[in-house]
Structure 1
Amino acid sequence: MLERSSKARRSRVARALAAAGAAATLAAAQLVTPAPASAAVSRAELALRWAPIHYQDVDATGSHALGGQSDYITMVDFDGDLNGRNNWDRAGQSGTSLAAYGYYSVVETSTHWYITYLFFHPRDWTDHPFFETEHENDAEGVLFTIERDGSTYGVLRGAVTVAHTDFFSYTPTGSTWTGGGESVDGTLQLQASPHDSFQHPVTAQEAQGHGLKAYPQYNINGDGLIYYPSTVAETPSNGNDRDVRYQLIDMLAPGGLWAQRATPSLFASLGTFAGDTTGDCGSGTWSCSTNSANAPWGWDDGNDVPARGELASDPAKVAAEYFTIPSGLSRTYTYNPYANAAAALAEAARTAPPNVD
């Protein structure tokens, strides 16, 4: 897989999730039908409106693929607990659900909404023995910046996606934003959903390693899934199901992922999911690494200006760095729960091991 030449090659970093609460608490904040234009929009409604139609390539090759199920998106507690160190094995066990979920958080300023989406896989895997490292847990995603133009849901201006240890930036057709400190990597397409009345941005993830870019920079190659944002979570009927609804979970909800950030069974350190080498992880491949997946407050592109975790915790800085923005962009947050832990995030960024996801 080729990335921008200025970027480092993909690698794997640590992820950890913690068991300080019931699995059901992570599913808090289920979404409702988007508000009519006359109503004030909630953060949950805003997240549902802009949630991406998501193309997921599926590979069924080899035993680590679980017949393609290793490429299904799901909850971090899909197996009913908040132990990140048993997810590799539990993904292959009968009785566990791989129903489709995505995570989101909304941060606000007076001029923009910033919506971060995370898609989780229990395995980051490979089907060949050369130069590729597997690991337990995988979490990559995208940041959408929405200008508050006076309309109910605002207008989408730009996106930054996470593909392993690299960030990629996109603008939709007609956006007033152009390249800034980083060049724009492509056009963010929008498509109609059969499950609501909106045009949604379109993202895609590769099979196995699950890097995420704007569609069609990644695409379905043979078998694959198309996930649509909804208020229900469906399990794919097979690895080539082209209409699967996924439900959103608020990372900032009480008991949610952010609240669990210090739970040692789930997170090995701030922003890094806990994962070990038990089971067949690494068997027949180059190796299996530990603690090698990141939550949004651990995402990092080490070649770019924003620091580790700032895509989630200081998205206005990310937008200002990646894009040239002709209209005003406030850097003062009116809602940002991540900011309460800014000092801890900064210290974690300073002391974190190299990002190897």
Structure 2
Amino acid sequence: MSVTGRIAAVLAAALATTGLLAPAPAHAAVSRAQLALRWAPIHYQDVDATGSHALGGKSDYLTRVDFDGDLSGRNNWDHAAQSGASFAAHVYYSVVETGSHWYITYFFFHPRDWIDHPFFETEHENDGEGVLLAIEKNDTDYGVLRSAVTVAHTNFYSYAPAGSTWTSGRESIDGTLQMQSSPHDSFQHPVTAQEARGHGLKAYPQYTINGDGLVYYPSTTAQTPSGTNDRDVQYALIDIFADGGLWAQRANANLFANLGTFAGDTSGDCGVGTFSCGTNSANAPWGWDDGDDLPGRGELATDPAKLSAEYFTVPGTLSRSYTYNPYSSAAAALKEAARTAPRVTD
């Protein structure tokens, strides 16, 4: 060490002893709700207003599972057409955590998965699709976004943002995850999109708006679209793990036909003028499954570190040990449901 370096070290030690030089205080960690809001997608929703099952476009609006004031899954098709139905925009989320990463699942709900023709497609009550984001922890509050895996019906699609260190693994990366600034905060957000009617979800612009459509922005406010072509609709987030929330309701037989599958029937005009109406045909995140991929049913949400290790080649540390994962409380039941539950063809 040079003379100058020795003098600096002695001075620093003296100042520390007198209390004049103290370590910088550690900043408080952000909450899971703050983390989910920071990374929540800007979301493009295509809208089709044609045909009676479209409800003038409202069948493509995002809403919450209890948009009709109850937690029954078997009346949502019918209640979507009633004047008291709320289409205030909400998106569900869950956060699980390992020592190296946060994993945030976003779940987008529609009361109807619908079609407007009679040819070889099935519509059904309830519709749930979404996206998993993997966030690597670093020395910043919110970490760095490394990947996304989206749910489009019974297929998963993987993406990485520009500059990500994650590359293709057992599955090939399907595209680049776009980022976009929001007029409602100071962050760049990932951009996702859903098709009209069937609501498959991919990274924008693999799906985009064709004609009328809505652009949803994450917020703490739940706005109702002003019409079918509203390009600035704020949505609020709902924690799946909240007291009385979706996870707490997982054994509610009025809402779920089995673990992870929403209950739905053929009441009302579901299937009328179309090929058919399916029953029990939509999944919550712990029921999502891409049947020809290695991760099991629901593991996109319940064991996202496993899915990430399968889908991507990850440099550095990818911890598989969870420090926070409420899904693990039902691990045995989820495994049995994966073995016995009927395959949903949403």
Q: TM-score range by the shorter chain?
A: over 0.9
Is residue 69 from structure 1 mapped to residue 58 from structure 2 by the alignment? yes
Letter in 2 for 1:101: H
Partner residue in 2 for 1:291: 280
Partner residue in 2 for 1:329: 318
**CA shift at 1:355, angstroms?**
2.7
1:184-211, Cα deviation, whole Å (9 max, x unpaired)? 0000000000000000000000000000
**CA shift at 1:39, angstroms?**
3.6
What SS does the corresponding residue of 1:130 show, helix, strand or coil? coil
Letter in 1 for 2:343: P
Percent identity reads 78
Higher relative contact order (CA 8 A, sep 6+): 1
Partner residue in 2 for 1:181: 170
Letter in 2 for 1:47: A
Letter in 1 for 2:268: G
2: distance between equivalents of 1:152 and 1:198?
13
Stretches of structure 1 that go unaligned for 5 or more consecutive residues are 1-36
**CA shift at 1:76, angstroms?**
0.2
Is residue 85 from structure 1 mapped to residue 74 from structure 2 by the alignment? yes
Number of residue pairs the alignment of both structures matches: 321
Is residue 220 from structure 1 mapped to residue 218 from structure 2 by the alignment? no
Partner residue in 1 for 2:10: none
Letter in 1 for 2:187: F
Is residue 49 from structure 1 mapped to residue 38 from structure 2 by the alignment? yes
Equivalent residue runs for 1:1-357 within 5 Å: 38-357=27-346
Q: In the alignment, is the contact (CA less than 8 A) between 2:282 and 2:344 conserved in 1?
A: no
Partner residue in 1 for 2:14: none
**CA shift at 1:38, angstroms?**
4.3
TM-score by length of 2: 0.92
Q: What is the CA RMSD across the aligned residues, in angstroms?
A: 0.8
Letter in 2 for 1:286: F
What SS does the corresponding residue of 1:161 show, helix, strand or coil? strand
**CA shift at 1:171, angstroms?**
0.0
Stretches of structure 2 that go unaligned for 5 or more consecutive residues are 1-25
TM-score by length of 1: 0.89
**CA shift at 1:340, angstroms?**
1.1
1: distance between equivalents of 2:226 and 2:135?
34
Partner residue in 1 for 2:5: none
Letter in 1 for 2:145: L
2: distance between equivalents of 1:346 and 1:309?
9
Q: Which runs of 4+ in 1 moved over 4 A?
A: none
Greater Rg by CA = 2
What SS does the corresponding residue of 1:99 show, helix, strand or coil? coil
1:243-267, Cα deviation, whole Å (9 max, x unpaired)? 0000000001111100000000000
2: distance between equivalents of 1:99 and 1:122?
13
Q: In the alignment, is the contact (CA less than 8 A) between 2:129 and 2:199 conserved in 1?
A: yes
What SS does the corresponding residue of 2:107 show, helix, strand or coil? strand
Partner residue in 2 for 1:30: none
2: distance between equivalents of 1:162 and 1:287?
23
Letter in 2 for 1:295: A
